[in-house]
């Protein structure tokens, strides 16, 4: 149990000190009953959005206006990173010293001979018994070194294609996944998320695809940060904690941990001679879209960043409180953000940042934000407005920014993809579709020139 984090999970009570357990149980009873009386009702009405004022990305905390690139790079950017670490995602650790790689599979005749399938184990500590991440890559056989897309997947690398040679992930996973039995994948889950990963299309356009299961980094459950890479690296972030000392409010939540894992995958990719590590786009859907944005903000080696339906805590402005809110996300998923973020439940106006500043942290590198009409929970308009409100930073840094002057949502399926901030809203639900990928590939063609 960490500071103010409810609901308490009795399944992990043996890990919690008795006093903390008592407090947690009392909180659960009181807050739980209040919540039961007041079920969360999302607001889907633009006219009911509270009046709000966004923090200005181009004004330092001390009030100084940022009017040149140097002040942005040396003062405001570091200040914003720190604010997001402190109030939203938490601080992460650095690159582990003993990290090393092992190639487990290298098949040059994959995808009808057009690509090489490579499976690489990223060991995070010196030996081979520490935590490891399994990265799957499909790399075009022509035009190397190639640019690449990197993204985390929800249920194991074996779900992204039906190729029986992809290693079946044996780690814990959420029960919701297709073919998942007792929280573990079975062969029935092979290829079940293939529609979200059009490997052939990506390869035919000259890009590699690299993917990794997010649960290899940190299992997506509220377990008081005992497992995943926390088990090994948490102390580097929190320091040695005395008995009954709560976890620091700014210690990394799971999104920051997953983003850290993306940086470790990029460490491998910059080392693989078949990939051009200076042209890697990081992409993610939903919670993994929030993760891709934070990875892109914190790791400037990512050349392009893509947010697919990332919503609250991702591209959507928190102050609009449209669809999912800060209070709601912190209640359903208390482990995703740092503990300090809980203080902004129903109190978004007090946040010293908002999500347009997350987008601005990617500048001047290209960023693409995608929404879906039936994904109102993620607040498409709030996702678009983040791009609009990040635009002044992109312009200050000498890039075209968003190719629209309007704060109104663009027409459905009319992508804005000619600038440095891309955006589209498509028909359909919360998902990743071929239409989405077509836009990402076009956007990448423009910004990650192949064989420059
Ligand atoms: C839930 C959550 C969202 C998240 C999504 C997902 O719907 O409320 O914030 O983006 O799960 O990751 O699938």
pLDDT digits (tens, 9 = 90+) for 257-266: 999 999 999 9
* pLDDT at residue 34 greater than cutoff 50: no
**Token match 């889950």: residue?**
189
9 lines ligand 1 (CB under 6 A): no
The full 3-state SS of 339-364, as one line of letters, equals: HHHHHHCCCHHHCCCCHHHHHHCCCC
Cα of 450 from ligand 1 centre, angstroms: 34
pLDDT digits (tens, 9 = 90+) for 153-181: 999 999 999 999 999 999 999 999 999 99
* pLDDT at residue 229 greater than cutoff 80: yes
Residue 332 appears among annotated catalytic residues? no
Residue 65 is predicted with a pLDDT of: 98
* pLDDT at residue 298 greater than cutoff 80: yes
Dihedral sign for Cα 445, 383, 311, 291, please.
positive
* pLDDT at residue 294 greater than cutoff 80: yes
- CA dihedral 415→419→421→427, nearest 10 degrees, is 0
pLDDT digits (tens, 9 = 90+) for 115-138: 999 999 999 999 999 899 999 999
Of 49, 140, 124, nearest in space to 441 by CA: 140
Lowest mean pLDDT among 133-137, 222-226, 302-306, 427-431: 222-226
Beta-bridged to residue 387, according to DSSP, are none
User: Residue of the nearest CA to atom 13 in ligand 1?
Assistant: 286
Task: Go through 26-54 and write b for each residue having 16 or more CB atoms within 10 A of its CB, e for each that does not.
Answer: ebbeeeeeeeeeeeeeebeeeeebeeeeb
Q: Domains (ranges, CATH) in the chain?
A: 10-447 (3.40.50.1820)
pLDDT digits (tens, 9 = 90+) for 52-106: 999 999 999 999 999 999 999 999 999 999 999 999 999 999 999 999 999 999 9
pLDDT digits (tens, 9 = 90+) for 206-220: 999 999 999 999 999
Cα of 324 from ligand 1 centre, angstroms: 9
- Which positions ≥6 away from 117 have C-beta within 8 Å? 105, 106, 107, 110, 111, 136, 137, 138, 163, 165, 166
CA angle 368, 374, 375 (to 5 degrees): 55
287 lines ligand 1 (CB under 6 A): yes
pLDDT grade for 199, boundaries at 50, 70 and 90: very high
Q: Give the mean pLDDT of the chain.
A: 92
- The answer to whether the peptide bond before residue 364 is cis (omega within 30 degrees of 0) is yes
| Mutate-to-test residue for ligand 1 from 152, 255, 286, 431, highest number of ligand atoms within 8 A of CB | 286
Measured from the CA of 312, which atom of ligand 1 is nearest?
9
Cα of 23 from ligand 1 centre, angstroms: 28
Average pLDDT over residues 220-245: 93
Percentage of the chain beyond pLDDT 70 is 91
**Which of the pair, 4 or 107, is modelled with greater confidence?**
107
* Token code pair at residue 244: 């009954």
Residue 18 is predicted with a pLDDT of: 37
Contact 291, 217 (CB under 8 A): no
Residue 353 is predicted with a pLDDT of: 98
**Token match 């582990």: residue?**
96
Cα of 117 from ligand 1 centre, angstroms: 30
Give me the catalytic one of 12, 100, 184, 430.
430
**Token match 């040149």: residue?**
68
309 lines ligand 1 (CB under 6 A): no
pLDDT digits (tens, 9 = 90+) for 314-329: 999 999 999 999 999 9
Give me the catalytic one of 189, 193, 286, 371.
286
- CA dihedral 350→351→355→358, nearest 10 degrees, is 150
pLDDT grade for 449, boundaries at 50, 70 and 90: confident
Measured from the CA of 328, which atom of ligand 1 is nearest?
8
Alpha-carbon distance of 102 to 331, in angstroms, equals 39
Alpha-carbon distance of 286 to 264, in angstroms, equals 21
What is the distance of C-alpha 381 from the center of its chain?
19
Cα of 429 from ligand 1 centre, angstroms: 13
Residue 170 is predicted with a pLDDT of: 96
Residue 394 is predicted with a pLDDT of: 98
312 lines ligand 1 (CB under 6 A): yes
Residue 424 is predicted with a pLDDT of: 98
Which pTM does this prediction carry? 0.92
Residue 450 is predicted with a pLDDT of: 56
Residue 254 appears among annotated catalytic residues? no
Residue 130 is predicted with a pLDDT of: 84
pLDDT grade for 4, boundaries at 50, 70 and 90: very low
**Token match 């985390």: residue?**
152
293 lines ligand 1 (CB under 6 A): no
């Amino acid at each position: 149990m960490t500071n103010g984090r409810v609901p308490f999970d009795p399944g992990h009570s043996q890990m919690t000190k008795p006093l903390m357990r008592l407090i947690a149980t009392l909180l659960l009873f009181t807050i739980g009953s209040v919540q039961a009386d007041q079920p969360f009702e999302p607001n889907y009405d633009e006219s009911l959005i509270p009046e709000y004022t966004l923090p200005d990305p181009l004004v330092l905390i001390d009030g100084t206006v940022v009017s040149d690139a140097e002040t942005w790079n040396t003062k405001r950017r570091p200040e914003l990173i720190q604010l997001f670490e402190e109030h939203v995602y938490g601080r992460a650790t650095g690159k582990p010293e003993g990290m090393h790689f092992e190639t487990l599979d290298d098949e040059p005749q994959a995808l009808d001979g057009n690509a090489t399938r490579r499976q690489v184990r990223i060991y995070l500590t010196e030996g081979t018994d520490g935590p490891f991440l399994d990265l799957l890559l499909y790399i075009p056989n022509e035009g190397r070194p190639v640019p690449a897309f990197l993204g985390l997947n929800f249920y194991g690398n074996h779900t992204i294609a039906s190729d029986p040679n992809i290693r079946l992930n044996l780690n814990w996973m959420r029960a919701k996944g297709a073919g998942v039995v007792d929280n573990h994948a079975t062969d029935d889950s092979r290829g079940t998320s293939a529609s979200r990963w059009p490997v052939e299309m990506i390869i035919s356009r000259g890009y590699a695809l690299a993917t990794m299961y997010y649960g290899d980094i940190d299992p997506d459950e509220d377990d008081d940060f005992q497992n995943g890479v926390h088990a090994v690296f948490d102390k580097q972030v929190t320091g040695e904690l005395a008995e009954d000392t709560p976890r620091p409010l700014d210690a990394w939540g799971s999104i920051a941990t997953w983003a850290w894992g993306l940086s470790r995958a990029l460490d491998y990719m910059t080392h693989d001679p078949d990939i051009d590590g200076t042209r890697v786009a990081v992409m993610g859907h939903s919670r993994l879209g929030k993760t891709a944005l934070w990875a892109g903000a914190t790791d400037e080696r990512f050349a392009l960043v893509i947010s697919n339906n990332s919503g609250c805590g991702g591209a959507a402005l928190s102050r609009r409180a449209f669809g999912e809110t800060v209070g709601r996300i912190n209640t359903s998923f208390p482990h995703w953000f740092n503990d300090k973020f809980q203080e902004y439940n129903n109190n978004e106006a007090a946040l010293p940042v908002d999500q347009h500043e997350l987008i601005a942290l990617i500048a001047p590198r290209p960023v693409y934000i995608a929404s879906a009409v039936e994904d109102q929970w993620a607040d498409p308009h709030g996702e678009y407005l983040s791009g609009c409100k990040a635009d002044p930073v992109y312009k200050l840094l000498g890039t075209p920014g968003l190719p629209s002057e309007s704060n109104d949502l663009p027409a459905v399926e009319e992508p804005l993809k000619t600038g440095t901030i891309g955006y589209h809203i498509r028909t359909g639900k919360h998902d990743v579709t071929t239409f989405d990928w077509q836009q990402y590939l076009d956007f990448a063609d423009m910004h990650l020139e192949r064989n420059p």
